Chain A
Amino acid sequence: MKLARMDWALGTLLTVMTVGVCACGSSSSGPASGSLPTAIGKGEGQLNLVAWEGYAQPEWVKPFEAQTGCQVHAKYAGSSDEMVTLMRQGGGTQYDMVSASGDASLRLIRGGDVQPMNVSLVPEWKNFIPQLQSPPHNTVDGKHYGISLQWGPNTLLYNTRAVTPAPTSWATIYSPKYSGAITVPSNPIQIADAALYLSKANPSLGITDPYELTEAQLDAATKLLQQQRPLIKKYWALASDEIELFKNGDVVIGASWPYQTNTLVADKVPVKDLIPVQGATGWADTWMLSAHAKHPNCAYKWVNWVSTPKVQAQQAISFGETPANTKACPYMEQIQKGSCTQYHANAPSAYFDSIKFWKTPVTQCGNGKNDCMDYSAWQQKWTEITS
């Protein structure tokens, strides 16, 4: 009987350990109130970030640490859901800031997980493109819950040797031609990509906004993704997964971020990316401050640092995205000739408006009706599609 108990231990320890963290449920209060800081004090010596992979590169983190004495600890998250969860874990005191995209930022604001920031303490904010100074995804009731960072499209990435002719349409990742060699992100917001494709491929569905889907529209997108599943090699969770898949020849085409393209090109893998004819979804990221941040001064120093034109340019080129700061262009040209145009830093505002930026699906449709499917429905569909 003693042995039987030992086996119980062995057999279930992994499972129990996995769930052992359940004692640390989240406890968040309402949106933080109180006055905004009017000056940035002395740094607290460290700064804990939740970030997209590639957002805390040594290139600009090391000089920041040397200059401010704030040691940066970055935790990479693979999806907006993971970011929200990480910011809520341990009562929200574990991480100071998060580089939230538009589909996470409002959830964090409504959940009371982040606090308003004083934009006048970030002088470079005035140089941001007008659309990103007070965008609806991070500014609520005139309060700025964070400082915009960078933005860009989700692209179609392909191996130039294996995929011929070069693709022009998202249809390529839904057709069996490259069956078993396709990868897409492991992220419920990927449903919007399918919806965007369907809005052009099947206009009778009447999809106008890929994030505002009625039940019938969501079902249509789900069906498309279910047909796509047997063609998929792997749903990638971290950018580094997708990089390895392309490097080892396991996949030849997939939905991606420009970051992967840059990394793969640097490694001499024959890849290219493009925005297909249907257009693209995209992200606009914000550095948001936790409502329970332990190192707020370092956090303010950090947003100031990453808002400077030079760091904006470094990050834009490293990740392959567009800086929020309009003054970044000359610095981009210094680092890499032609990069300002390549990454659309000088594009007219129509370009910004053409990208369907990530936002959290809610029941309120744009048309004033309440018949849209909310994010939990999206999550459930996504589990049913991919698991």
Chain B
Amino acid sequence: MSSSFAARRTARIDVSAALFRRPWLRATLLLSAPGAWFVLIYMTALALLFISALWRVDSFTGNLVHSWTLDNFKTLFTVPVYRTIALRTIGIAAAVTVTDAILAVPFAFYAARMAPKRLQNVLFVAVLIPLWSSYLVRVYAWRLILAKDGIINWVLGNVGLGSVNIGYSNWAMWIVFSYIWLPFMILPVWSAIERVPDSYIEASADLGARGWRTFRTILMPLILPGLAAGSIFTFSLTLGDFITPTLVGGAGSDFIGNVVYQSVGIANNVPFAAAFATVPLVIMGLYLLLARRLGAFEAL
């Protein structure tokens, strides 16, 4: 009884010792599962995306033809409508990012540096609460708010300001995206502002700088990485979205994601969808390079 226990104990020590002596074995065992997931599922999907972008679809039977062609990319660059769609997508993603940054900085500054501790907790929960409800529910809610007979016009009408006709338009998309992704901007900015030591601000005041000067030369450079980190979320999430444009967009409000969705789900043209889907990949790649230069990855 006790001898078998001792034997098992020795065996365990042997295994530990073997792993200790061979760091590569340890690393292999630890990383094999996530590594396999990363390579098999994540990287394979990306590789398939690029490969299928080079195939085409037989227009009559709808079957995939596995012959190499650059036609999809040629269509993408020569038909003007796809340029319009790509520019619209990037434009609104940029507008949403700027809007969220402008909203997030004062809010995060107040929450991180001025609000009493209890209020801080309340604000933190308030920022996160919308994320607990479904994305779809929030977008549908906005559809009702922005409709012609919706809440906004009801309020405007009651205070005698007439009405606005912004339902189903690019304005509606801009408002809804800005609302939906705002928490993703506030949180990194908040933590960036929180990390600025009080002594920096005091030192700035001691040297005679007023509030605005302190904000510009001390605070802003220190929270820029936080802003860049938040912008990665707001920009990329808007760039890849197709549900909000479908639900609150009007005539001519398709995003890259909509064309991808329609190409797969309606036109059955997977290769073209794959070709168009590489566009946001390239844009995000460039954006991430820029964000890294701004120090966004240290602020996450």
Contacts and interface: CB of A to CB of B under 8 A. Distances in A.
B24 interface: no
Interface in B26-48: 42, 45-46, 48
A125 B133 CA distance: 50
A376 B232 CA distance: 38
Contact of B274 (A4, A10, A22, A110): A22
Interface string A190-215: 00000000000000000000000000
Category for how many chain A residues contact B: 35 or more
Consensus secondary structure, chain B interface:
helix
Given A19-B260, A180-B165, A248-B147, A110 B265 contact: no
B147 A18 contact: no
B149 A21 contact: no
Contacts of B104: none
Nearest to B271: A22
Contacts of B80: 384
Interface string B118-148: 0000000000000000000000000110011
Nearest to B169: A233
A367 interface: no
Contacts, number: 161
Contacts of A6: 300
Contact of B268 (A19, A78, A84, A250): A84
Interface in A222-238: 229-230, 232-235, 237
Interface string A13-46: 1111011111101111000000000000000000
Contacts of B84: 387
Contacts of A20: 45
Given A233-B250, A387-B259, A81 B266 contact: yes
B81 A384 contact: yes
Nearest to B66: A25
A351 interface: no
A386 B264 contact: no
A237 B168 CA distance: 14
A19 to B, nearest CB: 5
A11 interface: yes
A374 B59 CA distance: 10
Interface in B56-105: 59-64, 79-81, 84-85
B273 interface: yes
B266 A234 contact: no
B261 A16 contact: no
B268 A26 contact: yes
Interface of B: 42, 45-46, 48-49, 52, 59-64, 79-81, 84-85, 143-144, 147-150, 165, 167-168, 232-233, 236-237, 239-242, 246, 249-252, 254, 257-261, 264-268, 270, 273-274, 277, 280-281, 284-285, 287-288, 291-292, 297, 300
Interface of A: 3-4, 6-16, 18-23, 25-28, 78-79, 81-82, 84-85, 88, 110-112, 180, 229-230, 232-235, 237, 244-245, 248-250, 374, 376, 379-380, 383-384, 386-387
